[in-house]
Amino acid sequence: MTEAVLYDYWRSSASYRMRVALNLAGIAFTSVPVDLVAKEHKTPEHIARHPQGLVPVLEIDGLRLTQSLSMLDYLDRTRTMGLLPEDPARRAAQTALAHAIAVDIHPVCNLQVVAYAAEITGNREGVREDWMKRFIRPGLQAVETMLGGFEQSPFCCGDTPGLADICLMPQMYNARRWGVEVSDLPRILAIEAACADHPAFAAAHPDRCRPA
Ligand SMILES: N[C@@H](CCC(=O)N[C@@H](CS)C(=O)NCC(=O)O)C(=O)O
C-alpha cells in the first residue's frame, strides 16, 4: 500500500490534529510542508489539492481528503481507533466538546482572519495578540466547564485519547503561543499534561515538526 501523505504546516492546529491521529493509528506518513507564511497554500498547485486553499490535505487509501474533522472520522471508521463512543448520547456530548474547539474557537483565530482583522484596524501594535486572547480564552473557559461532565482519567473523556483531546492539544499550543491566560483551567491543564506525555502527541508537536 502507498504510504500516506500529509500536506501540512508545522504550526497549523488542523495539521497538528492530523499528525496526532496518524500517530495514534500507527500510520506511517510523509509530511509535505506547505508554508502558510510564504502563502504556498494559495498557489494553483495547492488549490488543486484543496479547493479552499487550506491545510491539511491527507492522501491515503487512494483518496485525497480535506477537512480535518472529516479525515479524523475517516481514520476512526477505517482504523477502528475508538475516538468516540458508540452510544449516541455520549457520542454527541464528546463531539460537542471537539466542535467547541475545532468549529467555534479555531476558525476565528485562523491566519487569514487575524491578518484581515489587523489590516482593517490599521495594524495597531498588539492587535493580533488581543484578537487571539479575545476569542481563545472564553472558548477555553467554556470547554473547561463542559469537561466537568466527563470523568478525566486522564484524558478528556476517559483513559484513552479521543477526538476531544486531538482538538484540545493544538488549541492549547496556540493559546500558549499567544500568551492566553490558562492557569485557572485545571482540567484542561491536566489533560494537556497527559497528552504531552503520550508518544503520539509528543511526536506531533510543532517543535518536532518544524522544517529545518
Ligand atoms: N476546517 C478546516 C480548517 C483548516 C484551516 O483553517 N487550516 C488553516 C491552518 S490551521 C489554514 O490553512 N490557514 C490558512 C490561512 O488562514 O490563510 C480543517 O479542519 O481542516
CB distance 190 to 210 below 8 Å: no
| Co-location of 20 and 122 in the same domain | no
| Co-location of 92 and 47 in the same domain | no
Site to substitute for ligand 1 among 111, 128, 173, most atoms within 8 A of C-beta:
111
| Co-location of 66 and 111 in the same domain | no
Residue 209 in domain: no
| Co-location of 95 and 194 in the same domain | yes
Residue 68 in domain: yes
Would you place residue 120 in the very low, low, confident or very high pLDDT band (cuts 50, 70, 90)? very high
Q: Which domain covers residue 58, as residue numbers? A: 4-81
Pocket of ligand 1 (CB under 6 A): 12-14, 36, 41, 54-55, 67-69, 110-112
Rounded to a whole number of angstroms, the CA Rg of the chain reads 17
Dist CA 106 CA 139 (whole Å): 9
CATH number of the domain residue 14 falls in: 3.40.30.10
When pLDDT is averaged across residues 103-130 and rounded to a whole number, the result is: 95
CATH number of the domain residue 113 falls in: 1.20.1050.10
* pLDDT per position as a tens digit, 128-181: 999 999 999 999 999 999 999 999 899 999 999 999 999 999 999 999 999 999
Q: How many domains does the chain have?
A: 2
CB distance 14 to 106 below 8 Å: yes
Residue 211 in domain: no
Residue 212 in domain: no
| Co-location of 56 and 150 in the same domain | no
| Co-location of 123 and 165 in the same domain | yes
CA of 139 to the centre of ligand 1 (A): 18
CB distance 9 to 40 below 8 Å: no
| Co-location of 169 and 97 in the same domain | yes
For cell 467554556, name the residue. Answer: 142
Does residue 1 carry a pLDDT above 90?
Answer: no
CA of 209 to the centre of ligand 1 (A): 17
Share of the chain above pLDDT 90, in %: 98
Query: What mean pLDDT, rounded, does the chain reach?
Result: 97
CA of 87 to the centre of ligand 1 (A): 30
Last residue of a domain, one of 81, 99, 126: 81
When pLDDT is averaged across residues 65-84 and rounded to a whole number, the result is: 97
Q: Specify the pLDDT at position 152.
A: 85
* pLDDT per position as a tens digit, 183-195: 999 999 999 999 9
Name 158's bridge partners: 155
Does residue 2 carry a pLDDT above 90?
Answer: no
Would you place residue 212 in the very low, low, confident or very high pLDDT band (cuts 50, 70, 90)? confident
When pLDDT is averaged across residues 65-89 and rounded to a whole number, the result is: 97
Last residue of a domain, one of 81, 114, 142: 81
